[in-house]
Amino acid sequence: MDDAEFEATLVLEQLAAIGKVDEFFDAIDADDVQRATVLMRRANLDAATIATVIRKMAQSDGEH
């Protein structure tokens, strides 16, 4: 999956389905890649989507 194919709405919808959107945003804000990854796995997101989110977290470097 590349950035052109990335759909952030899917990530949020999947996280909302398990009631973890706020916790996910807390992990993003804290740059806690491990916690964000665990939450995305719980939400049954595929590996390519998780990798894209992690890459975007690294690219933001505190600019989110």
Give the model's pLDDT for residue 62.
Answer: 57
Give the model's pLDDT for residue 23.
Answer: 97
Domain ranges of the chain: 8-60
Give the model's pLDDT for residue 40.
Answer: 97
Structure tokens at 13: 């919808």
Structure tokens at 46: 């595929």
Give the model's pLDDT for residue 36.
Answer: 97
User: Is residue 64 helix, strand or coil?
Assistant: coil
The torsion angle over the Cα atoms of residues 35, 41, 47 and 48, rounded to 10 degrees, is -70
The rounded average pLDDT for each run of 10 residues, N- to C-terminus, in the chain (64 residues) is 67 96 95 97 95 90 56
Task: Give residue-wise pLDDT tens across range 12-30.
Answer: 999 999 999 999 999 999 9
Which DSSP state fits 5? T
CB environment 17-38: b (16+ within 10 A), e (fewer):
eeebbebbeebbeeeeeeebbe
